[in-house]
Structure formats: C-alpha cells, structure tokens
Amino acid sequence: MIALGADHGGFALKEEIKQHLDDIGVPYKDFGTHSPESIDYAKIAYKTCRSVVDGECEKAILCCGTGIGISMAANKVRGIRAACCSDYFSAKFTRLHNDANALCLGGRVLGVGLALELVDVFLTTEFEGGRHQRRVDQITAIENGTFEG
Ligand code: RB5
C-alpha cells in the first residue's frame, strides 16, 4: 500500500499519480488534500508519513508546490527518509543507496510525464544494502541522538 499526500500546490499532481497507480494496479491510500484549497503541507506530511512508520503503508509519495517543504516536514518524522527528486537518476539512486521510503515531488516544478517516471522507478527499485546499510544506519543514529561520529 502506497501512502499519498499533497498540499494545494501538489494536489493536481497527486490526482495524476492516483490515476496512474489505478492504471498499473498499485494500491494506495490518499491522505489528502482533496481539493485545491490552501492547506499547510506539514499537516499532510505528518499524517501520510505516520502511516509508513506505523506499518500501514510501505512507502509515501508526497507532493507540494516545490516538493521541498513537504520533504522537510516528512524528514522530521522519525523513521522517514524522504527524498525530493526532479530527475530520474536521483529517484532511482535514493532507493538503491538511501533506502528512501518517501518520494517528494514538486507539482509546480515537474511535468506529469516525468513525475510518473519518477514514481515508477521509485516504486520498483530495491535497496542495495551492503555498505549503504551502514550509512542508512548512521542516519538513524543521528535521528536517535546516538551517533558517535
Ligand atoms: C504553497 O504555496 C507552497 O509554499 C508549498 O506547496 C511548497 O512549495 C512549499 O515548499
């Protein structure tokens, strides 16, 4: 199950992503927003990301105007590794190397075609592990206040 969330700046893109996930048969849960009316992205990031860290959903896809504000908020949720991506290589390698569990996209930055390519590669690429696991563990240690440098 994929968790979807967007503020008003990402609402239209989220709707495109929903249509795409329907087309390819990927189940999702939509945490809003459900209209183009203004809403704060932190609120959406929090509830969407909670569903990932609580185990209800595997990964999150979050959209705001730039993808940046919602990624900043998402990365404050313990256990979330959110990547704001605008190119294919980054969306692929944030799975391979960072085990990112949230993809953040800018609805005012990306065309729909590219955004859907980023969604597809993010959802289908597995984490490589190995030396990258150590680095992800270090991120977790920073988050937990146990990192010793
Ligand atoms: C909303 O106007 C906009 O600031 C928001 O969608 C996002 O781009 C913030 O980073």
* pLDDT at residue 35 tops 90: yes
**Of 47, 105, 94, 38, which is closest to residue 71 (Cα–Cα)?**
105
Q: What is the mean pLDDT of the chain?
A: 98
Set out the domains of the chain in order of their start, with CATH numbers: 2-144 (3.40.1400.10)
Give DSSP secondary structure letters for 82-107.
Answer: EEE-SSHHHHHHHHHTT---EEEEET
Nearest CA to ligand 1 atom 3: 65
147 CA from centroid of ligand 1 (Å): 32
Nearest CA to ligand 1 atom 5: 65
> Which residue ranges have their beta carbon within 6 Å of ligand 1?
7, 9, 41, 64-66, 68-69
Return the percentage of the chain with pLDDT > 70, whole number: 100
Strand order in the sheet with 59-64: 28-30, 2-6, 59-64, 102-106, 82-84
Q: What is the mean pLDDT of residues 83-110?
A: 99
The reply to whether 97 belongs to the active site is yes
Nearest CA to ligand 1 atom 9: 69
Position 134 scores a pLDDT of 98
Position 45 scores a pLDDT of 98
The reply to whether 64 belongs to the active site is yes
In the 8-state DSSP scheme, what is residue 118? Answer: H
Cα distance between residue 60 and residue 58, in whole Å: 7
64 CA from centroid of ligand 1 (Å): 6
**In Å, what is the CA distance from 86 to each residue of 16, 25, 122?**
16, 24, 12
Cα distance between residue 71 and residue 54, in whole Å: 18
Cα distance between residue 9 and residue 67, in whole Å: 9
Cα distance between residue 100 and residue 93, in whole Å: 9
